[in-house]
A = this chain, B = another copy of it.
Amino acid sequence: MSVNEDLPNFADMLLSRIREIGNPVLVGLDPHHALLPPEYQDAIRSKDRAKMAGAIEDFCIRVIDAVHDIVPAVKPQVAFFEQLGPDGYQALENVVTAAKRSGLVVISDSKRGDIGSTAAAYADYHIGAGSERLLPDVKNLNADAMTVNPYLGSDTLEPFLKFVAQGKGIFVLVKTSNPGSSDFQDRVLENTSGLMLYEAVAEKLSSIGEVHVGEFGLSSIGIVVGATYPEQANSLRQRFPNLWFLVPGFGAQGADAADVAKCFNCEGEGAIVNASRSLLFSYKDHKYEALAKKDWALSTRQAAVDMANELTNILSRE
C-alpha cells in the first residue's frame, strides 16, 4: 500500500494507461541520424546542429502523432539529443512536451547516476516536480519517469526517490539487454547461495520500492530487464512481483514475443516492452513498403499495431 495516498502514483498511472490503450508497447524514440527518412537527410547532411535537431524533433513528433492513440508510452533516448548539444536538448524538451500533450506517458532514457547533490541535479531536470524541486519554477524536462544506473549504490538513488514520492517513476538498470551485460551483472556473490549481482540489485530495489507500491500492487520503482535474457527475466518476475519491468531487446536486438512474455505477471501485466528501430524505421521494411510509399509515419503506426497484437496474443495464451 502506498504511503502517499493523497499524491499521484506513477505505477498506478502507467498501469491505468496500459489498460485503457489495451497494450504494453513502449515506443523508443531513438532518432538515429543515418536511419531517418529521406526527407530529413538534407538537414542531417547540413552538419548544422540547429537544422539537425529540428529534423530529429520533427521526426519524433510525427512518430508521436502517428502512435499516441494506440500505445501508452514513449521513451526518448537522451543520447541522440545530447549528441547535438544545446539544440538537441531544445528538441528533447519539445518532444517530451508534445508527447505529454498527446496523453503519452514519457520515460526519459538517460541512465543517469551520480552522488549526492549531483544526482539531485539530474533528478531535478529529468523528473523534478512538486514541492521537492531543487530549482522551483525553473523550466525542466519534467518527464514522468527516467532510467537510472545503480552502480554508485542505493544512497545515490535518494534524490530520485524524492520525486517518486511526488508521483514520478524510476527504472533502474538491473539486467541489461546487451551481450556484455554478463561481465559484471552476472557475477555470483559470495555467501549468497548463488545470487548474482543483478539479483542483489533487484532485491535492494524491491525493498526500497515497497513504500511506493500503488493500489494495483506495483511499485513506482521499476527495473530494466532485457528480453534477450528470458530465463533471467522469468526468475526476476517470479521473485519480485512488485517491480515494474521496462523491457528492451524486442525486435532489432533479437528477443521475440515468447521471450518478452516472461516479463509479465500472471495477469499479463507489470511490464512495458520497448521497441525502437523496428517501429521508427519500419518504412525500410519490405512488409510495410506500400504504406511507406504514402507516408513513412503510416508504416510506423502499422508496425506498432502489429507489435501490440503480437504481444496481446501471446499474453492471452499464457
**CB-CB < 8 A to A180: which residues of B?**
152-156
A102-131 residues with Cβ-Cβ distance < 8 A to B are 111-119, 121-122, 124-125
CB contact between A111 and one of B80, B88, B93, B112 (< 8 Å): that residue: B112
A178 and B156 contact, Cβ closer than 8 Å, known pairs A83-B124, A83-B135, A197-B184: yes
CB contact between A115 and one of B85, B138, B176 (< 8 Å): that residue: B176
A188 and B190 form a contact (CB under 8 A): yes
**CB-CB < 8 A to A173: which residues of B?**
151-152
**CB-CB < 8 A to A111: which residues of B?**
112-114, 149
B155 and A179 form a contact (CB under 8 A): yes
B187 and A197 form a contact (CB under 8 A): yes
**CB-CB < 8 A to A139: which residues of B?**
49, 85
A6 within 8 A of B: no
- How many interface residues does A have (CB within 8 Å)? 69
B124 and A184 form a contact (CB under 8 A): no
B184 and A200 form a contact (CB under 8 A): yes
**CB-CB < 8 A to A134: which residues of B?**
83
**CB-CB < 8 A to A119: which residues of B?**
79
CB contact between A117 and one of B32, B149, B153 (< 8 Å): that residue: B32
A201 within 8 A of B: yes
**CB-CB < 8 A to A191: which residues of B?**
188
A181 within 8 A of B: yes
- Chain A 46-65 interface 0/1 with B at a Cβ cutoff of 8 Å (1 = within): 01010010000000000000
A256 within 8 A of B: no
A89 within 8 A of B: yes
- Chain A 193-216 interface 0/1 with B at a Cβ cutoff of 8 Å (1 = within): 010010011001000000000000
A77 within 8 A of B: yes
- Chain B CB within 10 A, most for which of A82, A151, A181: A151
Closest to A32 in B: B117
| 10 A-B pairs with least C-beta separation | A153-B180, A155-B180, A153-B183, A79-B121, A188-B190, A115-B178, A151-B151, A86-B89, A86-B90, A86-B86
